Amino acid sequence: MDERDPFRLDGRVAAVVGAASGIGEAVALACARQGARVACLDRDADGAAAVASRIAADGGLSESQVLDVRDAEAVRGAFEALHSRHGRLDIAVSTPAVNVRKRLLDYSEDELDRVLTLNLKGSVHVLQAAGRIMTAQGSGTIVLFSSIRSQAVEPGQSVYAATKAGIVQLVRTAAAEFGAAGVRVNAIAPGVVDTPLTAPIKARPDWYAAYARKNALGRWARPEEIAGPTVFLCSDAASYVTGSVLFVDAGWTAIDGRFQPPGI
């Protein structure tokens, strides 16, 4: 019987895009704690280097590199360099996204391009670069980030929600195309998470509290609470999971719009 812990990532090489802060930082740290060698990739060079240093200080294996997922050639080059240095690329996780909260009729062309390019094109670039390496080596796992907004929307979420729904279909299609080569592709769909990206909402106590009330646990998530499910998808514990969307939303999508009837 194989008694190895299926949740461990020992000997794996992981590329975490968006590792400088927020969920990406938490994912990078969690992968390292499970034994992976983690490449911290981000547009923020200092932030990525700081996370890599934290991993090293804890006895983990890490490196960092500047990377903008909007640049297809840069993504390809970064992933190929990782593969060349270490002889493998086992895990690719991509977290970057942007949201311009505006009603659809008020969106400018520049804002439309900004959201579509980072959220959708950036995800395609990661799928293509990691997919080419992993399908050739016959193994690997890719995790992209969708959102509860792929299912539940509100005014001001149109383009962002469309990109997060699009990521779901990208993941499903990539899973279908890469599966024969032994490569798994999945998505995480978080609910509301305390990160630098959501700081403007936290600055509005009424808005912050309203979102907390929308889920079953009545609170926002911490980034590390999203990292655990992500590491699960990257591990052998999820070896039969591909083409799936794991909602980590404290029940938001299950109970959204709930009403407590009298006497129930």
Distance CA 22, CA 222 (A): 9
Question: What is the C-alpha to C-alpha distance for residues 189 and 5, in angstroms, rounded to an integer?
Answer: 26
> Scanning the structure block, which residue is given the tokens 């929308």?
214
* 56 neighbors 31 (Cβ within 8 angstroms): no
Quote the CA–CA distance of 23 and 255 in Å, as a whole number.
24
- Annotated active-site residue 211? The verdict is no
The runs of H, that is alpha helices, within the chain are 22-33, 45-57, 72-86, 109-116, 122-137, 158-178, 199-202, 205-212, 223-234, 252-255
- Among residues 107, 160, 208, 240, the one annotated as catalytic is 160
Catalogue the active-site residues. Answer: 160
